[in-house]
Structure 1
Amino acid sequence: MTASASISEENEIRASIYWWFATVFTKELDKQQLAAYREGEGAELLEHLADTPELSSAVSMINNSLAKLSVYQHPELELAADFCQQFLSDSKVGAPPYASVYLSANKLMFQEPHEKMRALLVSQGLQVDPKFNEPADHLAIQLDYLGNLILREAPAQQQADFINQHLLAWLPQWLDALRKVSKGGFYQGFAELLVGYLHLELAEL
Structure 2
Amino acid sequence: MQPHPGHSLRSLTQLAARAEVLALSYDRIEKLLDTLGEKIEATTEREQLDQLIAAAQTAATLNERDQALLEWCEAALSRLDADSNYESEDGQFVLKPSVVAARIAMLVGAFPAGAPSDPAVYVKMLMEHVCAIEGLGLIDLDAAIWEATASLKFIPAASEFLLIVTRQRKQWHKRLMAVQNIAEVSSWTLTEIDKLQAEAMARVQQAR
Q: Confirm or deny a common fold (TM above 0.5).
A: no
- Which protein is bigger by CA-based radius of gyration? 2
More helix per residue: 1 or 2? 2
- TM-score tier by shorter-chain length is under 0.3
